[in-house]
Structures are given as structure tokens and as C-alpha cells.
Amino acid sequence: MNTPKKIQTGTPFEFGEHLFHFGGEIVELADSTPLLNNFSALHGKMREDGYLFIRGFHPREDAEKAAHWTLQAIAQSGGLKPDTPVEAGIIGETNQTFSFFRQTEVAHATPILDVVDSERTMQFYEEFLGGPVITFDKRWLRCMAQGGHNHFHYDSVYVGRGTQNRYTMWSALTDIDLENGPLVICLGSHRHNRLKSTYGATDMDRDLTEAVFSTDPREMVEKFGFTLATAHFQPGDVIIFGLYMMHSSAPNLSDRYRISIDTRYQLAHEEKDDRFFFRADGSWLGNFYNKGVDYRSIVELRREWGL
Ligand SMILES: O=C(O)CCC(=O)C(=O)O
Ligand SMILES: [Fe+2]
């Protein structure tokens, strides 16, 4: 497998209306693949950097099978450009973003679980966490059309109930280069005590607070002093991070679906976040389960926090 070339200093990165250049405000993620069998080194890296970037964590062909499966589901919904091959993933006229969040027949099908629940994956977390592990029943399969992306947040605000010793794994299923809407993290944000003790301590469904901290990557750099980090991801590459790592994706600028999946892992005996486990009838609560309520605006909250 040929890994993408190192991103050269000065390479432009378009994040919505904002333009950054590699080398200063944005850098390439540090590749921890060589540390894969050295768990004490991986722990050290996670402690220091707050994330692990591992290329080829999942076998590429498994990730590609999962992407193909997902694209077939999009094709069935009429989302692909007519007369183009499914595997090319070319976005159709309606430019519809698909997040099969409640469609378990797509998001939890075998080709998907073969990636995120694989023996290899579960064994990694068992060794990394030091005991039997579980993953949430719910998984987040995201297929971004042109312009589609998420905004800056800590996962603690969405999936932070119970143990704090929980990790998110974001897995690329398609080839996600700089213009395809890659995940972007804020280096050092796992150490920002003020952010962690204010915004990071909110639970959107308990506190009824807006969960997105910012939509502006420029303010992450200039106001908070974070360096952004991303990479050219290939199918099977992953980023692993804890509940307090500020991250967003950049808008997909291309005509090709950007497909990723994010999943969560923790020790089996530690407290779960019950919102994301199936109940007897197979449904789950999820986020936004309070109906007909108003969420306090983040602008107002940030004013109170002085952030
Ligand atoms: O893929 C995205 O756009 C967002 C992913 C995310 O927020 C996560 O992995 O926790
Ligand atoms: Fe997230």
C-alpha cells in the first residue's frame, strides 16, 4: 500500500471560507502506526498529544467493502449521479448528505461491523485499556455530500455520560484528501482546562445546551491558540481520541461522497452512557431525546464562561 506523500509546507487548506497553509496554523497529524505493538508508547503518545493517528488500522479492503455497501444504500435512495459506477461515489443532483444514524439495516450491517467491531479492533482496545471492552450499540456512519460537514465540539458534550475513560475512533472508509472534507482536530485542546471545565462539562441532553462550540476554525487558531491538524486519509486509516479533543470536519469540496464512521470504546465494567445502548425493543434514546424544548444558545453560554 502506498501511503500518501508528506504534505508540503505551504500547501493550502480550504476550510469553508477560511484558508490555512500547512506549516504554521495547520499541520499534518503525527503518524503513530510504527508504535502499534508498543502499548506503553501508545499510552505516552495519547497522554501527550491527545490522539493517535494510525494508518491502515483496518485492512483497506474491509474499509472499501464497507464504503461500497454504504454507496449501494445511497444508490438505492437515488443519491448517486446516474450512469456512474457505484464505487466511484459520485454525488447526484440532489446533493444529499446521508447519515444512516437510525437506519441500522445500513449502518450496523455486516460489512460495517466487520470493520468497527473486528477482532483486531476489539483486541486493540482490550490491550490499550487493559481489560474486556465494549463498543456502543450505536454507530455514526456519515456520508457527506458537497458542502457537508460538522462543527467544532468535544465528544464529552454528546457522548460523555458514565466513564471518562472512553475513546472515539473515527475511521475513513473512502479516500479522504484535503478537499474531501477530512476530520480536523485542535492540537492541545485536550489540555485546555477552562474549556474542559465549562463547555466540556455540559451534557447537551441534561443541560439543554447547544452542543456545537464553534463553527469558525479561524477562531480556534487565533482566539484559542490551537494548531489545527489533519491528513490525507485512506480507507482504513483512523484517528483515536478521548472525550476532550476539539474536532470538526471541513466541508467536502468535491463531487464524491466522503464516507466515515465514528464509534466508541470503553472498558466493559465501567459505567456506560445508556443513551447509546439498545433497549429491549431494539431502539435507543440517542441525543436530542427531549422533544419540544429549547437549547440554551452557545453564544450566551460562552459569554457566561468568558470564552
Ligand atoms: O466525521 C465527522 O464529520 C465528525 C466526526 C465526529 O465528530 C467524531 O468522530 O466524533
Ligand atoms: Fe465528534
Q: Is residue 128 part of a domain?
A: yes
Q: What is the pLDDT of residue 1?
A: 55
Closest ligand 1 atom number to CA of residue 153: 7
Is the separation of the CB atoms in 167 and 159 below 8 Å? no
Whole-number Å distance between alpha carbons of 302 and 64? 41
Q: Which three cell numbers stand for residue 136?
A: 456502543
Q: Is residue 282 part of a domain?
A: no
Query: Which residues span the domain enclosing 68?
Result: 31-268+295-305
Q: Is 170 in the pocket of ligand 1 (CB under 6 A)?
A: yes
Q: Is residue 3 part of a domain?
A: no
Q: Is 260 in the pocket of ligand 1 (CB under 6 A)?
A: yes
Q: Is 142 in the pocket of ligand 1 (CB under 6 A)?
A: yes
Q: Is residue 39 part of a domain?
A: yes
Q: What is the CATH number of the domain that holds 38?
A: 2.60.120.620
Q: Is residue 237 part of a domain?
A: yes
Q: Is residue 242 part of a domain?
A: yes
- Percentage of the chain lying above the pLDDT 90 cut: 96
Q: Which three cell numbers stand for residue 88?
A: 466511484
Number of domains in the chain: 1
Q: What is the pLDDT of residue 228?
A: 98
Question: pLDDT tens-digit profile of 166-217?
Answer: 999 999 999 999 999 999 999 999 999 999 999 999 999 999 999 999 999 9
Q: What is the pLDDT of residue 43?
A: 98
DSSP E strands, the chain: 12-15, 18-21, 26-28, 51-54, 98-99, 133-135, 140-144, 166-172, 183-187, 227-230, 238-241, 247-249, 258-267
Whole-number Å distance between alpha carbons of 223 and 81? 41
Q: Which three cell numbers stand for residue 56?
A: 491502515
How much is the pTM?
0.97
Q: Is residue 284 part of a domain?
A: no
Q: Which three cell numbers stand for residue 206?
A: 441534561
| CA 85 to ligand 2 centroid distance, Å | 31
Question: pLDDT tens-digit profile of 232-288?
Answer: 999 999 999 999 999 999 999 999 999 999 999 999 999 999 999 999 998 999 999
Q: Is residue 126 part of a domain?
A: yes
